[in-house]
Structures are given as C-alpha cells and as structure tokens.
A = this chain, B = another copy of it.
Amino acid sequence: MTFTPADSGFEQRVRTSFAKQQVMRTIGAGLVSVAPGEVVIDLPFRDDLTQQHGYLHAAIVTAIVDSACGFAAYSLMPLDAAVLTIEYKVNFLAPAVGTRFIAHGRVMKAGRTINVTTGDVIAETSKGTKPIATMMATVMTVTDRPISG
C-alpha cells in the first residue's frame, strides 16, 4: 500500500517526535527508517530489560512496535496533528531471544480520525532472524485540542 503524506516534512517531524520520547533513549531504541506510513525501530538486547527467564520483557517488545506503529500513523498526519494510541493488541509468537530486535510499524488504514496500523517484531540471533511478536494498533489523529491529562 502506498500513502501520500499530508505534510512533506513528515520524516523530520517523526524524527523530532521520536527524539522527545525519553523512554526510547532509556531503553536504547533507535529510529532506523521513516517512510510514508511505515516506520522501523530497533533495539539491541540488554540484560536490564529482561523478564524472569532472561529474555527481553514482553512490554519492551511492545514498546518498540507500539512506537513504530504510532509513528507510522503520525508520518501521514497533517502538520498540526498529534497522535494518540487508543488501544493495541499484541500476540507473542516466540520468546524474545536475540541480540537485536527490529520493529516494523505500518499503516493499514489511514482514516480522518481513526488509523489502523499493524506491526511486527523480529529478533536477530546467531542463527538468523525470527518473528517474535505481531501487533494491531488503533491510533487517533487529534487536531483540534491538546493531548492533556
């Protein structure tokens, strides 16, 4: 599927917003690529992000694919819009074992208000790559008000 972004400066806008997500820096995630409706984020394995079996914690897997999906939607939004994640669902396909994790987020349907995105996470291991999670996320375009608590 090909999308035409509403704002031609979409890549810089996504990169600026990603840089403001302090949690991405905290966990060591990086923005690999930004295309219209598609964003890739990666994360090297780190011991301090693990669950009880020593694998990457499911919520950290979720963190990178959630941000990939949110920014994929954001890449298509108008200049003055903010992105709000309404909900997501993740299926975990295999334990998060690997040296590096790569999350792809893609827009499936870009609506006026509601955007549906899908994402997946693959793990890089010494034996190759392996899919470990898949996400479906609903993301809202907010243009008429601040996102506030």
A interface residues with partner B (beta carbon < 8 Å)? 17-18, 20-23, 25-26, 47-53, 55, 57-60, 62-63, 66-67, 82, 84-98, 108-109, 113-114, 116, 118, 123, 125, 131, 134, 136, 138, 140, 147-149
Contacts and interface: CB of A to CB of B under 8 A. Distances in A.
15 contacts: A20-B51, A22-B49, A23-B48, A26-B48, A53-B82, A59-B60, A62-B62, A86-B138, A89-B89, A91-B136, A91-B138, A93-B116, A95-B148, A113-B140, A118-B134
A58 to B, nearest CB: 5
A87 B82 contact: no
A137 to B, nearest CB: 9
A120 to B, nearest CB: 9
Contacts of A49: 22-23, 26
Contacts of A86: 86, 91-92, 114, 138
Interface centre among A18, A55, A93 (most CB of B within 10 A): A93
Contacts of A85: 58, 92
Given A52-B20, A125-B149, A116 B134 contact: yes
Contact of A48 (B20, B22, B94): B22
Contacts of A55: 149
Contacts of A131: 108-109
